[in-house]
A and B are shown apart, each in its own frame.
Chain A
Amino acid sequence: MRVPERTAAVLAWARRNLFSSPLNALLTLLGLWLLWLVVPPLLQWLWLQADFVGSSREDCRGDGACWVFVRVHLDQFLYGFYPPAERWRVNLGIALLLVPALPLLIPPLRRFRRVWLLALLAYPPVAWWLFHGGLGLSVVDTGLWGGLFLTLVIAATGMAAALPLGLLLALGRRSRLPVVRATATVFIEFWRGVPLITVLFMASVMLPLFLPSGLSLDKLLRALIGVALFAGAYMAEVIRGGLQGVPAGQYEAAQALGLSYWQQMRLVIVPQALRMVVPGIVNVFIALFKETSLVLIIGLFDLLGVVQAAVTNPDWLGFVLEGYVFAAAVFWAFCYGMSRISRRLERRPDMKAQEQQEMA
């Protein structure tokens, strides 16, 4: 006797949400028509008529997508031209990233703050040693780095550099010292006013001119500097929003305790400000992650760069769609994942509890 009840519920739901008025019913039909137009052909192409097994383009016989193309190029998409024998170093380096991330996943570990800070500070040099080599490992030139690996390197470096840089710039812009404020404001507005491409062009053709002759920076390093400065300026504006959101009473209370400026900021203001703008920070991260793809214009082969190289390879012409769909899926998974995490962080109860604790 339950089934009819349920059907009734479904019908009621449908009447409320899909057919509440003639216009609404028309819209529903439009939506269904779109669904019928898009989903079956997409399924056919992606899956039902697609080829999955094989090792050469002769294995692409179906009418749908030929995922053999992606399968053959997968290593290239992930590592670029990194020598195959050394790829374990990339895997190890990325796996090591879990060490500083552990306390985020396992709350009890959060007590060991010092160890965590040490791990965080130690990570970049260790990762650099693993990826680039030297000291017993064979050197892999940064020109061979590529694929998803390079995308992750640029994005992670940009994020890691943008946070402290953005914090400093935001504090500078809210400083009472006119020179500091002016410098920070001009710096922020300049980077925010120009497109990232011109920044990358500047890093690749103009920066060498500004350095003393003899000192030449690696192409990747120059791009990283450009991306970091660019992301730092955007981060600064987000953090400034947080600083403005901290009630004036907090500033006054900190001052009344006799704390110095830096103590006030470090112990009272910044922790509250950062917590307030977590979604904004993640948005900057997502934008940065997507914009790393621009480095292909100055000749670095990030994920999109290697995919583009593979689809224009004369031996594998005609698989443009497969390549782009793969790249889009990877980018989408990362960006969507980040936005989900940010939404979870916003709602996390212990964050609110901590806040209340601090206020008490």
Chain B
Amino acid sequence: MLQALLLAAVLGAIVWMFGNALDNLARQGIASGFGFWNERAGFAIATSLIEYSETSTYGRAFLVGLLNTLLVSALGVVFATVLGFLIGIARLSPNWLIRQWAAAYIELVRNVPLLLQIFFWYFAVLRPLPQPRHSIELLGLAYLNNRGLYLPKPILEPGFGWLSAALLLGLVGCLLWLRRARREAGSDRGLRYWLIAGLLLLAPAAAVSLAVGLPLGWELPEFRRFNFRGGLVLSPEFVALLTALSTYTAAFIAEIVRAGIQSVSQGQREAAYSLGLSPGQTLRHVVLPQAMRVIVPPLTNQYLNLTKNSSLAAAIAYPDLVSVFAGTVLNQTGQAVEVIGVTMAVYLTISLVIAALMNWYNRRVALVER
């Protein structure tokens, strides 16, 4: 009875809202459907991973925004994980001072809104940087100014395919060696072990480089009259967003890592020490593998949060999905229902995919334990 009522109420609400929407759209003369997808967009986008111009379609603009979202999220996940693990481990360091530093970082960063931190990096740090003429030089290779971060750009020359193939070969060889060595009981991992691993990794690539010359060039940014030319340019919006996302999420990851490490019982550590393992070895081979089982599920949540938080890009006009699609495209077409619907669907899909991937990894970590 209750179920029938609920079903009726939900269906009724949907029909009612749908009817209202049709009514309102008709009255305001807004088109519906996805006809706009192939129309000319007519606006420019500052940074794009794929070819895009004002004559491209709305569909293309959507793709540009989506790729930008994925780019900043993927890089953010990597940086946040590295930083988060470092700080989480530092939070449990035997060194009192380092512990306090880690705690101060965590308490400061996670109690201030992310949007405020994005604004801080963008408006208070990157925008007031000097003009290109007075750029801050980093090791003579990179330049930082109010137009962005200029890095050397790798140029792939013709033979690059061979080099990557050789690198891949080296990697496979190295992994096989590590696997074999791990299976051999009692093999001590001394200098020789790592030397062979490194040799296996690099030898094929070195051979190719000797044969055809290094097929990888670097294009350095170069100052010409008013601005830099060449090189890899990261816009201030991108740098601000990436920095804020990574440092913010790192604080949460650090707490998760700390809780995970603390969940491994003290006896495990003592047993490892009594076997003669060093603190670093204990952490790597005994504590972390067990802690990972506790760490992975909440870590997944943080990755999801980071991806969703990348939508704050809209506030500083980094052209991500929300900014380009739910912002500019929505304003131009006025088709709120379709645009917001597609945007939400994309985030839902990303959430489900990341959750599925991390569940798969989680199952693997859990299996290793047995």
B-binding residues in A (CB < 8 A): 17-18, 20, 24, 27-28, 30-32, 34-35, 177-180, 183, 190, 192-198, 201-202, 205-206, 208-213, 286, 290-291, 293-294, 296-297, 304, 308, 311, 320-321, 324, 327-328, 331-332, 335-336, 339
Q: Is B107 an interface residue (CB 8 A)?
A: yes
Q: How many residues of B contact A (CB 8 A)?
A: 53
- Contact among B7, B24, B97 with A31 in the assembled complex (CB-CB below 8 Å): B97
Of the listed stretches B41-49, B54-62, B342-350, name the one at the interface; the rest are far from the partner chain.
B342-350
Q: Are B315 and A335 within 8 A (Cβ)? A: no
User: 8 A-B pairs, CB-CB below 8 angstroms?
Assistant: A27-B97, A180-B3, A197-B322, A201-B326, A205-B336, A210-B20, A327-B116, A336-B111
Chain A residues, CB < 8 A from B314: 197, 297
- CB-CB under 8 A from B322, the residues of chain A are 195, 197-198, 201
Q: Is the CB–CB distance between B330 and A293 below 8 Å?
A: no
Q: Is B31's CB within 8 Å of the partner chain A? A: no
Across-interface contacts of A336 in B (CB, < 8 A): 107, 111
Contact present for B95 and A18 (CB under 8 Å): yes
B240 CB to closest chain A CB, in angstroms? 13
How near does chain A come to B128, taking the closest CB pair, in angstroms?
A: 7
- Chain B window 1-30, contacts with chain A (Cβ cutoff 8 Å), 1 for yes, 0 for no: 011101100100000010011011101000
CB neighbours of A31 from chain B (8 A): 95, 97-98, 100-101
The chain B residues found within 8 Å of chain A, CB to CB, are 2-4, 6-7, 10, 17, 20-21, 23-25, 27, 93-98, 100-101, 107-108, 110-116, 119-120, 123-124, 128, 308-309, 311-312, 314-315, 322, 326, 330, 336-337, 340, 343-344, 347-348, 351-352
Q: Are A324 and B120 in contact (CB under 8 A)?
A: yes
Chain A's closest residue to B27 (CB) is: A213
CB proximity of B337 to chain A, nearest CB, Å: 6
Q: Which residues of B contact A291 (CB under 8 A)?
A: 113
Say yes or no: A331 contacts B348, CB within 8 Å.
no
A17 to B3, CA, bound (A): 62
Residue pairs across A and B with CB atoms within 8 Å: the count is: 146
Question: Is there contact, CB below 8 Å, between B97 and A28?
Answer: yes
Evaluate contact between B111 and A332: CB separation under 8 angstroms. Answer: yes
Asked if B344 contacts A177 (CB within 8 A), the reply is: no
**With A31-B98, A32-B97, A198-B343 given, is the CB distance from A320 to B123 under 8 Å?**
yes
Q: Which residues of B contact A321 (CB under 8 A)?
A: 124
* CB pair B123 A311 closer than 8 Å: yes
Q: Specify which chain A residues have a CB less than 8 angstroms from the CB of B309 in the assembled complex.
A: 195
Asked whether A195 lies within 8 Å of B111 as measured between CB atoms, the reply is no
Beyond the given A198-B340, A205-B340, could you list 20 further A-B residue pairs with CB under 8 A, ordered by the A residue number?
Answer: A17-B94, A18-B97, A27-B95, A27-B97, A28-B95, A177-B3, A178-B3, A179-B7, A192-B351, A193-B352, A195-B308, A198-B343, A201-B343, A205-B336, A290-B111, A293-B115, A320-B123, A324-B119, A327-B116, A331-B111
Nearest to B101 among chain A residues (CB) is: A31
Whether A296 and B315, one on each chain, are in contact in the complex, defined by CB atoms closer than 8 angstroms, is yes
Q: Which of A194, A195, A291 has the most CB of B within 10 A?
A: A195
**Distance (Å) between the CB of A337 and the closest chain B CB?**
9
